[in-house]
Structure 1
Amino acid sequence: MMPGRFTGLAIGAGLVTALAGGLALYGTGSPGGNGGAGPCAGSAGAMARVAAASRGEVAAMQAPLTPRPAPEIAFKGPDGAETRLSDLKGRLLLVNLWATWCAPCKAEMPALDRLQAARGGKDFSVVAINVDTRNLDKPPDWLKQNGIGRLAYYADPGGRVLPAIQRDTGSTGLPTTLLIDAQGCTIGVMKGPAEWSGADGLRLIEAALGAGS
């Protein structure tokens, strides 16, 4: 396997089509749905686009079956002050949990850095949250030593974020990545690493943003 490249879990075209169709029906208030009610009702279209764009290197990205708010987690921002996920609301977020003791996490960090460099801006940002709770100088030093300079440094030395995300997503390992829309709703979850800066990753981000729709 080439360094920095990963193959996602295969998702059948029929399953993705069915999921996208179901999400579209949810958004139109079809029988059995919520009739468009709830804080994340407007995210159904974005979830359908994410389901349809989860291909190739990002095939393991799964859209939730029903819209739901992202978990309200708190962590340290680049300035060391406490930051809540809701503070970053207003743009599409790719929230990635990583640790220096997680080899797949470290392997995908350069791709996340390239994705931020290529697409980061007023409408999209990568939020990579380090979950190390010991040797707290090690994560920023590792990023610097490996030339990763476009990602803002977010960290959770108190160990609160990882269990909260595990409860919300059912993921038991790292890396875990959430795709969260500008309204603060989870529209995708990936358990495991991906080649985020490749064509498939960029296409997924554009789809989530609604580009070309």
Structure 2
Amino acid sequence: MLAFGAAAVLYVVFAAASKPEQSQGLMRFARGEMQRLIILPDPPPLSSRTLRDGAGAETNLTAFQGEVLVVNLWATWCAPCVEEMPTLAALQQRFEGRLRVIPVSVDSAGDLQKAQAQLAELSGGRLPFLIDITRGVLFDAQAPGMPVTIIYDADGNELARLAGGADWSSEETAALLEAVLAGEAA
């Protein structure tokens, strides 16, 4: 019986040691709405691709360095993108002045006005409109599909990402972003 107990203890220790560490860094927040959160071992740099705002002025994501960013790649024809947009607006409102939510539409030039109007409606006007009609920002970010939301630190380094729709107004999301803002990404 003693040998069986010792074997059981060794099994538990071995099993725990052989699993990827989920309780370290930001991965400890990968639950609930954030259960699909991932941290890439070698994330791509923040895209410097030219984007256009609603007035047609050129900018890019590097213009926002110095701020924690939650960048959401979306399109009007992507149902999960549309569904999560009001929660991204709620996230922006909750963290106003502490981080910036930046949705980037990858709709075509012909759908620019539709995308701009839809974002304004879905976000209550709380989120800025940016578009990349070339869709190159998807490739720069190595996005596996849409929506994809990427969290960057103030230096423009990717900290984590989530592919697929989520409720960005959830308490799990708030806890994750509080940790990011407190510098607990490591």
TM-score by length of 1: 0.70
What is the CA–CA distance in structure 2 between the aligned matches of 1:56 and 1:93, rounded to whole Å?
Answer: 21
Tell me if the contact between 1:53 and 1:207 (Cα under 8 Å) persists in the aligned partners. Answer: no
Report the more deviating stretch, 77-86 or 90-99.
Answer: 77-86
What is the CA–CA distance in structure 1 between the aligned matches of 2:27 and 2:37, rounded to whole Å?
Answer: 8
How far 1:140 moved relative to its partner?
A: 1.6
Q: Which runs of 5+ in 2 are unaligned?
A: 1-18
Question: Aligned in 2, Cα 1:130/1:52: closer, same or farther, shift over 3 Å?
Answer: same
Q: What amino acid is the match of 2:34? A: V
Tell me the equivalent position of 2:104: 129
Tell me if the contact between 2:106 and 2:135 (Cα under 8 Å) persists in the aligned partners. Answer: yes
How far 1:190 moved relative to its partner?
A: 1.1
How do 1:28-43 and structure 2 match up within 5 A? none
What is the CA–CA distance in structure 2 between the aligned matches of 1:210 and 1:98, rounded to whole Å?
Answer: 28
Tell me if the contact between 1:176 and 1:192 (Cα under 8 Å) persists in the aligned partners. Answer: yes
RMSD: 2.2
Tell me the equivalent position of 1:15: 20
Q: What amino acid is the match of 1:15? A: P
Q: Which runs of 5+ in 1 are unaligned?
A: 1-13, 21-47
How far 1:154 moved relative to its partner?
A: 1.1
Question: Aligned in 2, Cα 1:120/1:74: closer, same or farther, shift over 3 Å?
Answer: farther
Q: Percent identity?
A: 34
How do 1:56-205 and structure 2 match up within 5 A? 56-66=32-42, 69-121=45-97, 123-133=98-108, 134-146=110-122, 148-165=124-141, 168-169=142-143, 171=144, 173-205=145-177
Tell me if the contact between 1:120 and 1:126 (Cα under 8 Å) persists in the aligned partners. Answer: no
Tell me if the contact between 2:120 and 2:126 (Cα under 8 Å) persists in the aligned partners. Answer: no
What is the CA–CA distance in structure 2 between the aligned matches of 1:87 and 1:144, rounded to whole Å?
Answer: 22
Q: What amino acid is the match of 2:180? A: A
**SS at 1:189 equivalent:** strand
Tell me if the contact between 2:52 and 2:132 (Cα under 8 Å) persists in the aligned partners. Answer: yes
